[in-house]
Amino acid sequence: MSFDMIVRGGTLPDRTKADIAIRGDRIAAVEPDIEAEAGQVVDASGCLVSPPFVDPHFHMDATLSYGIPRINKSGTLLEGIGLWGELKPLLTHEAVKERALAYCDWAVSMGLLAIRSHVDTCDDRHLAVEALLEVKKEVASYIDLQLVAFPQDGFYRSPTARENTIRALDMGVEVVGGIPHFERTMEDGRRSVTELCEIAAERGLRVDMHCDETDDPMSRHVEQLAYETQRLGLQGRVNGSHLTSMHSMDNYYVSKLLPLMAEAQVSAVPNPLINIVIQGRHDTYPKRRGMTRVPEMLAHGIRVGFGQDCVLDPWYPLGTADMLDVAFMGLHVAQMTSPADMKRCFDMVTVENAAIMGLDDYGLSAGKKASLLVLDAADPVEAIRLRAQRLCVIASGKIVSERPAAHARLRLPGRPDLVSRRHEH
Ligand code: FE2
């Protein structure tokens, strides 16, 4: 028997050791000590072999635009939205595409091979929608790019958002988005959740809404989202992004809300890097962290992932497409420091995010798409601690990125020269 590639001697995220044999673009076998020939052998001994990173919340039409036409001085969500509004008329098809493709290159080098990106549908020119649909096609052999029709300026608040959002879905955008907390009134927000979920149900699509991205504890649109999910039979297909108001909600109300979300199988995607810098901006001290209640949702059996949201755009001045940065920040803000919780944070930026996006072809088992990573770490927790180097990135059976292990060569007085790698303990 022979294979196209064997990744030998790696440790899987569950700490078992196995070789991974690949034929064409599929995983053919995951077993210890596979005895067979292969066209290509990747030595993963001592390394973690994991499925690729997945980002379930991003804005690829805005990425890498930091400073155009100016920076966000207050750091608030609302100034970011205003600034994006200034930038929108300046966008060109070519510039959006070029920045998105540059970001996809960064993503590949970081082992990030599936991205759900919102695309702003409040532009009568449909420029970003067209550009990102082209990008989706161009990167399809190495990145699963899923697009969400996102009426950034409000489904009702922006006069043409409704027709433009529906048009984007007609053009091939595959997930229905929304922003109920940005509509003019709570009632408009509630109605927008209802109508957008109805549109998704009619078309057989998934829903992923920016929901309650505010510090206002009375922003309770997630309740309506769970209700409509139940009413329309969308269980397991609806995600609430951000849900930051839950941080500030009354505990009694949350004790009713979380079982409703669990019953409706509504998942949640906080975006720790963004939530920690954008929320609490109107506070003095104590200053709220603003991230939603991650351990509490997990305890209720709600599926939770972590998203990146922004890299170098009107809302966030940093970022490198590294989902280990996202897991690292999420772990800290949610205080998930037990060994089991830290491992869970790694799962959240891999398998849990993949489940939220509905990626059926994802995972390290025979028959699945042969996309995987060799990481310079012994296990998932070490990968988060080190934001481990992605030594080898394999997409659909092909090596698409390689980089050497990071190390420091120490030259200390009175000591022999030595190479320090991984900071093992
Ligand atoms: Fe977002």
Q: Which residue has the tokens 């999420």?
A: 330
Ligand 1 mean position to 268 CA, how many Å? 13
> Do the domain assignments include residue 415?
no
Statement to judge: residues 75 and 156 lie in one domain: yes
Ligand 1 mean position to 343 CA, how many Å? 25
Q: Which residues of 81-104 are buried (b: 16+ CB within 10 A; e: fewer)?
A: bebbeebbeebeeeebbebbeebb
Statement to judge: residues 108 and 197 lie in one domain: yes
40 neighbors 392 (Cβ within 8 angstroms): no
**Residue 312 zone, left/alpha/beta (φ > 0; ψ -120 to 50; rest):** left
Statement to judge: residues 344 and 370 lie in one domain: no
The helix (H) or strand (E) run that includes residue 399 is strand 398-402
Task: Kindly give, in sequence order, each residue whose CB lies less than 8 Å from that of residue 323, ignoring residues fewer than 6 positions away.
Answer: 53, 54, 55, 110, 111, 112, 306, 308, 349, 350
Three-class DSSP category at 415: coil
> Do the domain assignments include residue 241?
yes
- The phi and psi torsions of 405 (rounded to 5 degrees) equal -65, 145
The helix (H) or strand (E) run that includes residue 272 is helix 272-278
- How far apart are the C-alpha atoms of 418 and 425, rounded to whole Å? 16
> Do the domain assignments include residue 424?
no
Q: Which residue, of 326, 357, 388, is where some domain finishes?
A: 357
- Among candidate residues 178, 115, 103, the one with its CA nearest the CA of residue 145: 115
Statement to judge: residues 306 and 401 lie in one domain: no
> Do the domain assignments include residue 419?
no
Q: Which residue, of 332, 357, 382, is where some domain finishes?
A: 357
In 80-193, DSSP assigns E strands to 112-120, 144-150, 175-176
Ligand 1 mean position to 119 CA, how many Å? 10
Statement to judge: residues 168 and 286 lie in one domain: yes
Give first-to-last CA distance, the chain, whole Å: 41
Residue 116 carries which side chain, given as an amino acid letter? R
Q: pLDDT tens across 257-266, in order? A: 999 999 999 9
Statement to judge: residues 37 and 113 lie in one domain: no
Q: Classify residue 27 by its DSSP letter.
A: E
Question: Catalytic residue at 382?
Answer: no
Q: What is the pLDDT of residue 423?
A: 59
Statement to judge: residues 114 and 41 lie in one domain: no
> Do the domain assignments include residue 420?
no
Ligand 1 mean position to 56 CA, how many Å? 10
Statement to judge: residues 11 and 120 lie in one domain: no
Q: What is the pLDDT of residue 122?
A: 94
pLDDT < 50: residue spans in the chain? 425
Statement to judge: residues 246 and 275 lie in one domain: yes
Q: pLDDT tens across 380-409, in order? A: 999 999 999 999 999 999 999 999 998 889
Q: What is the pLDDT of residue 425?
A: 47
Ligand 1 mean position to 44 CA, how many Å? 36
Ligand 1 mean position to 210 CA, how many Å? 6
53 neighbors 111 (Cβ within 8 angstroms): yes
200 neighbors 233 (Cβ within 8 angstroms): no
Domains identified in the chain, total number: 2
> Do the domain assignments include residue 417?
no
Q: Active site residue: 35, 37, 202, 213, which one?
A: 213
Ligand 1 mean position to 391 CA, how many Å? 30
In 245-333, DSSP assigns E strands to 267-269
357 neighbors 142 (Cβ within 8 angstroms): no
> Do the domain assignments include residue 207?
yes
- How far apart are the C-alpha atoms of 226 and 244, rounded to whole Å? 16
> Do the domain assignments include residue 414?
no
Q: State which residues form the domain around 253.
A: 53-357
Ligand 1 mean position to 59 CA, how many Å? 6
Task: Return the CATH number at 382.
Answer: 2.30.40.10
Ligand 1 mean position to 310 CA, how many Å? 7
Q: What is the pLDDT of residue 419?
A: 84
Statement to judge: residues 270 and 405 lie in one domain: no
Task: Return the CATH number at 298.
Answer: 3.20.20.140
Ligand 1 mean position to 313 CA, how many Å? 11
Statement to judge: residues 6 and 125 lie in one domain: no
Ligand 1 mean position to 61 CA, how many Å? 11
Q: What is the pLDDT of residue 1?
A: 76
- How far apart are the C-alpha atoms of 51 and 368, rounded to whole Å? 10
Q: What is the pLDDT of residue 406?
A: 87
Statement to judge: residues 313 and 332 lie in one domain: yes
Q: Classify residue 184 by its DSSP letter.
A: S
